[in-house]
Amino acid sequence: MEHAHGLIEAVVLLALASAGLAATERLRLPSVVGFLVVGALAGPNVLGLVGDPERVRALAELGVVFLLFEIGLELPIERVRRLWRLALLGGGFQVLVTLGAVTALARAGGLPGSAAFVVAAAVTMSSTAIVLRLLTDEGQIDAPGGQVSVAVLLVQDLAIVPLLLLIPLLAGESRELGALLAAGAKMAAALAVVGLGVWFAVPRVLDRVAQIRSGELFSLLALLIVLGSAATAEALGLTLAVGAFLAGVAASGSPYAHQLFSEVVPLRGVLLGIFFTAVGMFFDPAAVLAAPGTLAFDVVAIMVGKLVVVVIGSLFVLRLPLRVGLESGLALCQLGEFSFVLLGVASQAGLIEPVLQQRLVVASIVTLLISPFLIRYAPALAGAISERLRHPDPGGALAQDLEGSAEDAPARVVVIGYGPAGQTLVRLLRSLDVPFVAVDTNPAAARRARETGEPVLYGDATRPQVLDHLRVREARLVAVAISDPLATRRIVSRIRAMAPATPILARTRYVREVDRLSTAGASVVVAEEFEGSIELVARALETFEVPAGAIARFTEALREEGYGAIRAPAALPIDPWLMELLDHTDTQWVEVPMSLPGRPTLGELDLRARTGGSVLVVERGANSHPNPAPDFALAPGDRLLVLGSSENLLRVRRLLEQTA
């Protein structure tokens, strides 16, 4: 009966998680919000559908185990390499300063040292699940604020492992130095045993099982690796999550890591939903109503405190504009999923009292509920605050260079953004001897470019003063090539207000930005998603041997129509006039196969009558023979310039191939 009762509660939990996910998907909110709200409603303190959340804790914690395995498996080496400076400086600053400041404040409030450190560790963490999901949905993941947020989250995710390892040490009964050192040595030995074990065993086992080519066996092995490594770590005195993380890191170097990831992720999503639903069940409305001021103080203190730390780090450590610091701070000011993990482990170890855990859990849930709205409106809020404060961008001498350099340069073309797209455009302009000036918000990139003699300045082009110094009114063209959608719209609208006649070329990655940028004043909008679709269409047409000229006319018409044919519903056919462009008469070079036997003449092939195509020129080596006579003999390797429709040209190719 006990097992049946536990199974019923697990089924109820799955049903609640499904309901929460369905509700948030319809409202376009992060799934974590739905899980927490539904869990709170169904918990013992409201409807009582699940009487004791502790009964499903073991099942819920498996979600965190799988999440840690996934983080280890997808340890983003490329992202670490690309964001190492932001992660090391910005992320390291956020983690260390938050840990130190909150620990000191908690100690001043009367908490013991170990409990104060646990509270600080929980407050340090932000929600990777919510932040990455919303930054991606809002198109901010590649914006400067998004990059800072990702870098800080990366350090937080990696910091969770040593923080979890510290909890058993802090929970030791003896506080003598010798006892602590002995406990630390024991833990280090256990960590080495688990780490070396999975490091040598996991890749080899994966290789052997993959050679058997059994999908079912590989799926079972994936579960065995996750759960086995977690159980082994716990048996040696570590935590489940640490063992799973080490197994993920060990498996990440295997060529089968992607398949392993595909096996684990679906189950991880289900278990994480159960985890957050179970966390929501700890929400106690009675406790909140009894002390609403305490909850409000906790929420404000946590969110404002984390925001201030991130902003200070962005301004004085990373030397970024205030707008970027505010965007990333607003995105990271909630408590995350690992906060619940740390609190749960610390509570089981007896480091914090249940009352304190409940207080932090309730505050965490509220910050998670508020956070999606803050992230969604963070760019607008950050821009408005930065504008109101008129905060000067940092950058030292580079910022001061802006005025003089822009005045000296005959900026016929202004390039805003010196990333890959901006650099490509700059190389083209230099090759064409077209004067230009570029501007970027990355002071290091601007400095390096200036050292090589490039007219690249440092500044935030969302500010009218910067645009004025760049002399956009006199520019032949302004090209906006940055990754921040909101900043791109703001720049375009301000340039259009300052220079109504200046052509503006705007680049965006996202479909939804095309109309917004056009409305803001962009003369031409280049959408990467659309351009990728056009390139795909062009390559497909080449496969069907459509002439290059017809393809060029077709793709150019797609662009001139504002990508209308691509943006239309998939069920609608492409306009007939666009399809007619593919059938127009065109000229194209056709190569005579090297296997052509003999030297047949054009008359013998009867090429015009049989294909409908007309040979205008025959090119042989360095010599050209225009308007060849019917008795002109073809040779292998000749190139024929043929006039005709797509069908005519296709028939010419087939005739030559059949003759060969």
pLDDT of 466:
80
For 233, how many CA atoms within 13 A lie in the half-sphere containing its CB? 29
Q: Is domain 585-660 given the CATH code 3.50.50.60 in the classification?
A: no
% of the chain exceeding 90 in pLDDT: 7
pLDDT band at 215 (very low <50, low <70, confident <90, very high): low
> How many degrees, rounded to 5, is the angle at CA 324 between CA 318 and CA 327?
125
Q: In terms of pLDDT, which residue wins out, 579 or 612?
A: 612
Q: Confidence class of residue 60 from pLDDT cuts 50, 70 and 90?
A: low
Buried b (16+ CB within 10 A) or exposed e, 445-481: bbbebbeeebbbbbbbbbbeebbebbbbeebebbbbb
Q: Tell me the Ramachandran region of residue 471: left when phi exceeds 0, alpha when psi lies from -120 to 50, beta otherwise.
A: left
Q: What does the pLDDT look like over 259-294, one tens digit per residue?
A: 666 677 677 667 777 777 777 777 777 777 777 888
Instruction: Enter the CATH code of domain 397-522.
Output: 3.40.50.720
Strand order in 639-644's β-sheet? 586-591, 639-644, 614-620, 623-626
Q: How far apart are CA 372 and CA 365, in angstroms?
A: 12
Degrees to nearest 5, angle at CA 249 with 183 and 204: 105
**Number of separate helices (H) and strands (E) present in the chain:** 31, 10
Residue 312: which pLDDT band, with cuts at 50, 70 and 90? very high
Buried-exposed string 352-390: b where 16+ CB fall within 10 A, e elsewhere: beeebbbbbbbbbbbbbbebbebbbebbeebbeebeeee
Judge whether residue 36 has pLDDT over 70: yes
What pLDDT score was predicted for residue 394?
Answer: 46
Burial 9-35 (b: 16+ CB within 10 A, else e): bbeebeebbbbbbebbeeeebbbbbbb
Q: How far apart are CA 557 and CA 620, in angstroms?
A: 35
DSSP state of 601: B
Helices 215-235, 57-73: crossing angle, 10 deg rounding = 110
The Cα 225–Cα 206 span in angstroms is 10
From 3.40.50.300, 1.20.1530.20, 2.30.33.40, 3.30.465.10, which CATH number describes the 2-40+70-172+272-385 domain?
Answer: 1.20.1530.20
Q: Is the pLDDT of residue 258 over 90?
A: no
Q: DSSP secondary-structure letter at 633?
A: B
pLDDT digits (tens, 9 = 90+) for 404-438: 444 444 447 899 988 888 888 888 888 778 888 88
- What is each CA distance from 637 to 514, 596, 599, 655, in whole angstroms? 46, 9, 11, 15
Cα–Cα separations (whole angstroms), residue 651 to 554, 646, 647: 21, 9, 6
Q: Do the beta carbons of residue 120 and residue 103 sit within 8 Å?
A: yes
Q: What is the pLDDT of residue 51?
A: 65
Average pLDDT, the chain: 77
Pairing of strands 623-626, 614-620: antiparallel
Distances (CA, A) of 151 to 83, 340, 394: 6, 21, 20
Pairing mode, strands 477-480 and 413-416:
parallel
Where do the structural domains in the chain lie, given as residue ranges? 2-40+70-172+272-385, 397-522, 585-660
